[in-house]
Amino acid sequence: MIRTLPETPSQSAQETPSMKPTTPSDVKDIPAPLWQTIDVINVQEMEWLVPDVIPQKALICLYGAPNCGKTFLALHIALCLIIGVDCFPAEAADTPPKPVLPAAPQRVVVYMLAEAPDSIGRRIAGWLEHFHYDRVTAQPIISQGLFASSHTHRVKLTSITQIDTFAAELERMKIHPDLIIFDPLISTLEGDENDASQMDRLITGMDALRQKFDCSIMVIHHPGKDARMIERGSSALRGGVDTHIAVHNEADLVDAEGAPLAHRIRLDIEKQREAPRSPFFYLSMHPIQGPLNARDRESKNVELGRAPNPSHAPTRPEIAASKHVRPDRKNTQRTRRTIPEPLIGAPALRPAISNKAYHEALRCSFAASKMGDGTFTKADVWRAHKENARKSGKKEFSEPYFYKVMDRVVEQSNQVRHVEGEKTLYWSGEVAKATLKKRPPKTDLNPPSDNTDHQ
């Protein structure tokens, strides 16, 4: 079974003191040096805990929406480090190699899980089932490489006293972790997560543990309630960590009939302090079932958890299948009057016309049609608009813009039309049509003479 950290403080004070002679390094009165010598000739190469994702000796924040698989993802990273396999391969192999367990854990991980810590064993069993590891053979490797907290053991990273007690407990048990995970972040705070000073104390506590054990520290966090996908609380957290990773929900992986197969997520490296940010990549979180008793494969099968596999970007059918609308949910939004769609064959590049100007031109066109013989010009509509603006006290549109609006009205509206063979306009109502029929035929004021060549 997984070894858990005891709930009580360290008992090292009750043990027999060591008789080793005191060295200058053991004297705590000597202060740490305030300055360092900068070496620009020999620089250290970037070392990775997870290649291109998590550096060694780094502070990491992994955040995402509830139930997106953050804890399963953190467990996946921890177990891959312990067994010594690649966490995020570029693509899943068609014929995966036979899983081989090492003789001893390759890395040591401490997982401080504050939410449902009793379920961590079932989740790890599901991960082993998914990747075809024998749970009985893997038991000693997991027990030596993964140390999980009990349900009452929480460490406040804003308290120096609790940090010292936690570090002393790890030293007493001779645990030298490569990665410490705190899940969730809110369990490590004593105050308000929106307070920048509290978040600064959290970063200081994480850095103290990093310096103490030369390891990476990861915190699991949640996003805020607004529409933006950003971590909850003070932005000092994003500024203080070295690596910032966001987990986004994507369209589910579906089969040929559109039924969901796995939950797809996208990992986005939003910040990488000491290295270029790697591009985002997709994972599919597959549900796993397995027997309750690993020694009895005929025992009852239950759902053990989820485990990630490399995935591809969502396809159009998968996106369409994920957009389900409840049949009993009716559209309660009020319909809005909008400009009609452009006519087929109309120019693609057209000036932006507002709904307000469009309907104002329609109203003024109707008013202009009531004057005279029922015909009008764009200038008549413009004058009617100026008169309306003067009476109502509203700001009028500019004349060039209003003429463009009239062009759009004539092109798209069925109510304002050109008189055949003329530049004048008329309102296409029954009254306007009757008025046009009563108009006398138009005579040419300058008829051609008999000697004019009409060709």
Distance CA 262, CA 312 (A): 12
% the chain with pLDDT above 70: 77
pLDDT in tens, 161-211: 999 999 999 999 999 999 999 999 999 999 899 999 999 999 999 999 999
% the chain with pLDDT above 90: 39
Question: Which residue, among 286, 288, 247, has the nearest Cα to 265 in the 3D structure?
Answer: 247
Six-digit token string for 301: 């099968």
Question: Which residue, among 143, 108, 103, has the nearest Cα to 124 in the 3D structure?
Answer: 143
Distance CA 418, CA 282 (A): 58
Q: Is the pLDDT of residue 441 over 80?
A: no
pLDDT in tens, 3-54: 555 554 444 444 434 434 444 444 445 566 788 888 899 988 889 999 999 9
The Cβ of residue 11 has, within 10 Å, a number of other Cβ atoms equal to 11
Distance CA 244, CA 221 (A): 11
Whether this model's pTM surpasses 0.75: no
Fold of 355-437: Arc Repressor Mutant, subunit A (1.10.10)
Per-position DSSP letters for 349-409, written without gaps between them: ------HHHHHHHHHHHHHHHTSTTSEE-HHHHHHHHHHHHHHHTPPPPPHHHHHHHHHHH
**CA 147, 151, 157: angle at the middle one, nearest 5?**
75
**Cα 56–chain centre separation:** 25
**CA 169, 20, 28: angle at the middle one, nearest 5?**
60
Q: Is the pLDDT of residue 399 over 50?
A: yes
How far lies 304's CA from each of 29, 129, 266, 433, in Å? 52, 9, 22, 77
Six-digit token string for 360: 């104002």
Cβ–Cβ under 8 Å, residues 247 and 62? yes
Cβ–Cβ under 8 Å, residues 76 and 127? yes
Domain boundaries, the chain: 3-8+45-322, 355-437
Tell me the pLDDT band of 228, cut-offs 50, 70 and 90. Answer: low
Six-digit token string for 129: 């089932």
Distance CA 429, CA 229 (A): 53
Angle between helices 120-130 and 135-145 (to 10 degrees): 130
Spell out the CATH class of 3-8+45-322: alpha beta
pLDDT in tens, 231-260: 999 999 999 999 999 999 888 887 777 777
Of 90 and 322, which is predicted with more confidence? 90
Mean pLDDT (the chain, rounded):
80
Q: Residue 241: what pLDDT? A: 96
Q: Residue 298: what pLDDT? A: 82
